[in-house]
Amino acid sequence: MFYQNLVSVAIIYTLKACGYITKEPLTWKLVSIWFPVNLIFVGMLLSSIMSLKYVNIGMLTIMKNLANLITAVGDMYLFRKQHNLQVWISLLLMIVSANYGGLTDLAFSGIGYAWQVTNCLLIARYTLTLRKTMDGARKATQSGNLSEYSMVLLNNSLSLPLGLGLAFLFNEVDYLLSSPVVRSSMFWFVSTLTGFVGLAISFTSMWFLKETDPTT
């Protein structure tokens, strides 16, 4: 997570230095507004990683649909968004599929499902909080506008110290340094590639949420 965020930050600063993009300066006021949502973001990534230790990817994908229901309910209460019948039917089908998937999961793990439910709650909280934070952060900028690049930079920059702290907390630094994979060029190539992919996902997510609403 730390390296992926570091690569994303480096890419944005490189694009800025080359004159391809513009970004807002990182002021303390802007950072203080964005930091709470960043804590949720890191918690979301951490709970997802922890759940992967116990739950297979197929079940993880199915269970993530629960976050959509939580987000829809939160969107309705926080932003007064009214959903039509088709939306609720779609969400109901997602919940039914998640329940049936859980019942047929031969490798059921209570700890894994607890982490995944936590992840769903954090995903919903992140999506809902991020939409509100965008509006507040926009008012704190000098230009009165906050581009997707600036938002991605904020998210990834603030994640760096948190990611580094978690790496030491879970003793991943010593494990990585002693692992032979760290001497493989393919490892660093793939790790760097995840930084590019992570940047693309973050950018498109920010743009999509900015243009639509949390439930969508």
Answer whether residue 160 is part of any domain: yes
Q: What does the alpha-carbon distance between residue 202 and residue 86 come to, in Å, rounded to a whole number? A: 28
Does 71 reside within a domain?
Answer: yes
Residue 114 lies in a domain: yes
For the residues of 44-75, what is the DSSP string, one character each? HHHHHHHHHTTS-HHHHHHHTHHHHHHHHHHH
Residue 127 belongs to domain spanning: 2-211
State mean pLDDT over 100-111: 65
User: Could you give the percent of the chain with pLDDT greater than 90?
Assistant: 0
User: What's the pLDDT band for 83 if we cut at 50, 70, 90?
Assistant: low
User: CA separation (Å) from 8 to 29, 149, 155, 195?
Assistant: 22, 10, 10, 5
Contact between 215 and 81 under an 8 Å Cβ cutoff? The reply is: yes
**Whole-angstrom distance, CA of residue 155 vs CA of residue 203:** 11
Position 11 in a domain:
yes
Q: What is the pLDDT of residue 68?
A: 73
- 92 or 153, higher pLDDT: 153
Residue 178 lies in a domain: yes
Which of the pair, 109 or 186, is modelled with greater confidence?
186
Phi-psi region of 149 (alpha: psi -120 to 50; beta: other; left: phi over 0): alpha
Q: Model-level pTM?
A: 0.72
How confident is the model over 6-47, as pLDDT tens digits?
888 888 888 888 888 877 777 788 888 888 888 888 888 888
Count: domains in the chain: 1
Residue 216 lies in a domain: no
Mean pLDDT, residues 154-159: 83
Residue 135 lies in a domain: yes
Query: Is the predicted pLDDT of residue 149 greater than 60, yes or no?
Result: yes
Average pLDDT over residues 110-122: 84
Mean pLDDT of the chain: 77
